[in-house]
Chains A and B, each alone.
Chain A
């Protein structure tokens, strides 16, 4: 093997008591696609931050093209030719897409717009350059990040779960792009929990567990099951099969839901029909930005319908369109939003105080005062039951890794024993082991008679869970497709709006 492009020796990084990385050795060859595999909190994101200059290692050496380097900042890393697409985005929400890009990429704005449109076309990453970032969905924001990174012509491109927001057809396109980049001399560091993807595209894989390297492998020589076992150190939990349920009562009914948002960048919804019964999991497929966040806030009550339209939403048999979020929760509704930080949890507050956000009716209050003892007890139970890796109920929500915070929020909402549970992107950024555990849990709850709606961009997830799938595209919802009688490619065609065209015509 030729001398590595990037090599790490003995890299360690601790945050207080937590050893995020311990003695990491890593070699990334030129012209290779290298996977970093690991569970939540295994230290993948920390390692990437060290390579990208966001954080500095406590010990160890970084060699870049055979020379020792001190990467003191992302700007320095970019100067050296290292680009990164983050799992949590680093975009300024108040600026437009093109303004965000011109902060990092030199050049005149009009030229940047042209280059951006070109790249977007080539890689199927189309975004309006003049849209404000705050108006974009999670999926669109990631597209901006990927494009911005590609525009700096990096020698090493770090991608933190890049495919989680793409439809299957576009994933293949992205992989073509990555292979082409590799062949033209760029190395790629690829973080993903989707083992099949890693097997199909990566040349090498380094496996992390609890902050240490536990192995190196050529992914093609192992099956996904092997890789998963190396990663979590035990066998993967299996989702228990769905039990055929007698038709339950209607827990949620959307009848011709039509919504014209005030925000000009938001997606209007037109004539959305959806019925979810007890003991049923409804899957809503589609790429973010097609009305997902609007539909979510309309169901949760964060957006309230005017009284004249109240009948368009029926929850637990009651007209609910005019009810606020708290009143819908009182009907037995619970909800896991797609953004954990700042919506599902308050990052500056402890987990205990975050429990009170929605679990306060479970005896965490005594005469309008907070019962800290009960709240701590609840939080400890949630941490235990849902395997949240943290130092305890007192740690700040913002200090947890994305996947662990998600486990906490999912756990908190499930512990409310709701009649209707809505989850938006429940396993986004969550590793295979934890994602499988969450899915297993959801299936068990369904079998106990809970009505569940899962909004997800991951088709495999919906196929594993949902009794039927409806695709949201351009603010309209397709007819329900019974999962057992549908192939993923069909859903994919609905997602990109090509359902009317013959299969071969899809780009």
Chain B
């Protein structure tokens, strides 16, 4: 009728089925868009964008020394994200991996702190197992309140992370403080057998990276091939269908939280038994929260998470580089991470939807 209706404006139209191409392209497109956006930002704050880009994304991969540090950082991120992704796909939103990570570190540290003279190659594996147990125990508090009283797991798990931090503080200024540590809030240095063996000589990369990769494979089997993984996914996609089929919701919540807690706890144990060698206040630089981004960037898929963890770890290392060599403020790295996640979530919409430019 009126001519204004001939104006062509695009519509978001639902696809018949999810686009596989877009599923693979979405993270790449997101990364590209975020890089461009941030380069513009660096220009705006008067930094040389090429130098920043080089320091941030290229340099971490250039030398074996810096790449091994990337691997070192990628391992805990990957492990935690694998656990979280299983829960996220079941719509169990465990935001408290940070706390589960800390409890894992505390549980693992108990052995070398209580038995500093013990020797034998059983010590570090026992520490890893104890760490996973510690993380799972901490997550089970959240699971219990959620199942018993329907308490929101996002809030409970998040707040428990703050509690975990205080438990760590108490131990480090109290019973577990190194008596010869000049009053620093840290434990004794662990004995040799309490350290995970190095994997690549000359670097700090240790056997826990292998464990992480094996567990990533297990996560893939669980989520893509097993019936239990299928049940978790049904619970996440269509809770009423899960109820209809008789898949227990409480069981799914317990399972999701125990797996995620166990993985985070294992990562925490591997940190104190790996590069750190002691329990200290700064055991986690926000791994538990960064892993949430890693999980989503990896499309909640075990294989995708391997790559997104490497990317995230590279950005950590590259961010440090860029701060030193290109004078980038520390906030710029966080802005970069934030914009990667945001553009990824936007491009995810195009997996199920497409733009329809009015055909006539």
What is A's interface to B at a CB cutoff of 8 Å? 15-16, 55-58, 67, 69-70, 72-73, 76, 80, 300-302, 324-329, 335, 337, 339, 342-349, 353, 356-358, 360, 365, 368-370, 395-396, 399
When the two chains form the complex, which single residue of A58, A80, A343, A360 contacts B244, counting CB atoms closer than 8 Å? Answer: A343
CA distance A358 to B5 in the complex (A): 49
When A346-B234, A356-B230, A396-B17 are in contact, do A70 and B360 touch as well, CB less than 8 Å? yes
B21 at the interface (CB under 8 A from A): no
| B63 sits at the interface (CB 8 A) | no
Q: In the complex, which of the residues B13, B16, B234, B246 contacts A325, with contact meaning CB atoms closer than 8 Å? A: B246
- Cβ of B223 to closest chain A Cβ, rounded Å: 11
Q: Are A347 and B238 in contact (CB under 8 A)?
A: yes
Give 14 new A-B contacts, CB below 8 A, not counting A302-B243, A368-B228. Answer: A57-B359, A58-B359, A70-B358, A80-B1, A324-B246, A325-B244, A339-B240, A356-B227, A357-B244, A357-B245, A368-B226, A369-B226, A370-B225, A396-B17
A55 → chain B closest CB, angstroms:
8
Which residues of chain B are near A302, meaning CB under 8 Å? 243-244
Contact B230 A353 (CB under 8 A): yes
Residue-wise, chain B 236-253 has the 8 Å CB interface mask toward A (1 for contact) of 011011011111100000
Q: Which 3 A-B pairs have the closest CB atoms?
A: A326-B246, A325-B246, A343-B240
Complex partner residue of A360 from B1, B11, B221, B227, CB under 8 angstroms = B227
Q: Are A56 and B360 in contact (CB under 8 A)?
A: yes
Chain B residues whose C-beta falls within 8 Å of the C-beta of A326 in the assembled complex: 245-248
Q: CB distance B246 to A327 under 8 Å?
A: yes
Tell me how far the C-beta of B225 lies from the nearest C-beta in chain A, rounded to whole angstroms. Answer: 5
CB pair A369–B225 under 8 Å, yes or no, is yes
Q: Within the complex, which residue of A15, A70, A342 is in contact with B5, where a contact is CB–CB below 8 Å?
A: A70
A70-B5, A325-B246, A396-B17 known; A346-B360 Cβ under 8 A: no
Residues in chain B near residue A56, CB distance under 8 A: 11, 356, 358-360
Question: Complex: how many Å from CA A302 to CA B249?
Answer: 11
Closest Cβ–Cβ distance, residue A220 to chain B (whole Å):
35
**In contact, A325 and B226 (Cβ under 8 angstroms):** no
Q: Is B346 an interface residue (CB 8 A)?
A: no
Q: Which residues of B contact A365 (CB under 8 A)?
A: 227
Partner of A370, one of B6, B11, B227: B227
B18 within 8 A of A: yes
Residues of A contacting B233 with CB < 8 Å? 349
CB contact under 8 A between A342 and B227, given known A69-B5, A72-B5, A72-B358? no
B247 to chain A, nearest CB (A): 7
23 pairs, A vs B, C-beta closer than 8 Å: A56-B11, A56-B356, A57-B360, A69-B1, A70-B360, A300-B244, A325-B243, A325-B244, A326-B246, A329-B246, A339-B240, A343-B244, A345-B238, A345-B241, A348-B18, A349-B233, A349-B234, A357-B234, A357-B241, A365-B227, A369-B227, A370-B225, A395-B17
With A72-B5, A369-B227, A370-B230 as contacts: A346 and B237 at CB distance below 8 Å: yes
A-B contacts, CB under 8 A, total: 96
In the assembly, what is the distance between CA of A80 and CA of B233, in Å?
Answer: 43
Q: How far is the CA of A57 from the CA of B360 in the complex (A)?
A: 9
Shortest CB-to-CB span from B13 to chain A, Å, is 8
- Of all chain A residues, the one with the shortest Cβ separation from B352 is A348
Q: Which residues of A contact B234 (CB under 8 A)?
A: 346, 349, 357
* In the complex, residue of chain B having the shortest beta-carbon distance to the beta carbon of A345: B241
Chain B residues whose CB sits within 8 angstroms of the CB of A396 once the complex forms = 16-18
Tell me the complex Cα distance, A396–B359, Å: 26
A365 to B16, CA, bound (A): 29
Assembly CA distance A67 to B359 (angstroms): 19
Encode contact with A along B11-43: 1 for CB under 8 Å, 0 otherwise.
101001110000000000000000000000000
Docked CA distance A67–B5 (Å):
13
User: Chain B residues near A69 (CB, 8 Å)?
Assistant: 1, 5
Chain A contacts for B359, CB-based, 8 A: 56-58
* Chain B: minimal CB distance from A20 (Å): 11
- Asked if A399 and B16 sit within 8 Å, CB to CB, the answer is yes
Nearest-neighbor residue (CB-CB) of A55 within chain B:
B13
Is A325 in contact with B358, judged by CB distance below 8 angstroms?
no
- Per the bound structure, the CA–CA distance linking A343 and B247 in Å amounts to 12
Please determine whether B17 and A342 come into contact, CB atoms closer than 8 angstroms: no
- Complex Cα distance, B13 from A69, in Å, reads 20
CA distance A343 to B9 in the complex (A): 36
Q: Which residue of B lies closest to A303 (CB)?
A: B243
> Distance (Å) between the CB of B1 and the closest chain A CB?
6
B241 and A325 contact, CB distance less than 8 A: no
Among A58, A327, A344, max chain B CB count under 10 A is at A344
Give Cα A397 to B237, complex, Å. Answer: 13
Rounded to whole angstroms, the CA-CA distance of A357 and B273 in the bound complex is 43
* Bound Cα distance A348, B241 (Å): 12
Q: Which residues of A contact B226 (CB under 8 A)?
A: 368-370
Question: CB distance B237 to A349 under 8 Å?
Answer: yes
CA distance in complex: A360, B246 (Å)? 12
* CA A317 to CA B226, docked complex, whole Å: 34
When chains A and B are docked, how far (Å) is the Cα of A70 from the Cα of B6? 7
Q: How far, in angstroms, from A73 to B11 measured CA to CA in the complex? A: 10
B22 to chain A minimum Cβ distance, whole angstroms, is 15
CB nearest neighbor in B for A330:
B246
Q: Closest residue of chain A to B14, judged by CB? A: A398
What's the Cα separation between A300 and B240 when bound, in Å? 13
| CA–CA, A70 and B2, complex, Å | 10
A343 near B238: Cβ-Cβ < 8 Å: yes
Q: Which residue of B lies closest to A18 (CB)?
A: B16
A368 to B222, CA, bound (A): 10
Report the Cα distance A73→B356, complex, angstroms: 13
Docked CA distance A301–B245 (Å): 10
A339 proximity list for chain B (CB < 8 A): 240
A80→B356 CA distance, assembly (Å): 23
A255 to B244, CA, bound (A): 23
| Complex-state Cα separation, A346 to B241, whole angstroms | 7
| Min C-beta distance of A234 to chain B, whole Å | 29
| In the complex, chain A residues whose CB is within 8 Å of the CB of B356 | 56
Residues of A contacting B237 with CB < 8 Å? 346, 348-349
In Å, the complex CA distance between A451 and B153 comes to: 43
Complex alpha-carbon distance, A326 and B11, angstroms: 43
Q: Are A343 and B16 within 8 A (Cβ)? A: no
Contacts of B6 in A (CB 8 A): 70
Q: How far is the CB of B357 from chain A (nearest CB, A)?
A: 10
Asked whether A337 lies within 8 Å of B244 as measured between CB atoms, the reply is yes
> Measured between alpha carbons, how far is A44 from B248 in the docked complex, in Å?
39
A302's nearest neighbour on chain B, judged by CB, is B243
In angstroms, Cα B10 to Cα A72, docked, is 10
Point out the residues of chain A lying under 8 angstroms from B9, CB to CB.
72
Who on chain B is nearest to A79 by CB?
B1
**CB proximity of B37 to chain A, nearest CB, Å:** 31
Pairwise interchain contact B241-A16, C-beta atoms closer than 8 A:
no
Q: Quote the shortest CB–CB distance from B4 to chain A (angstroms).
A: 10
- A136 nearest CB across to chain B (Å): 16
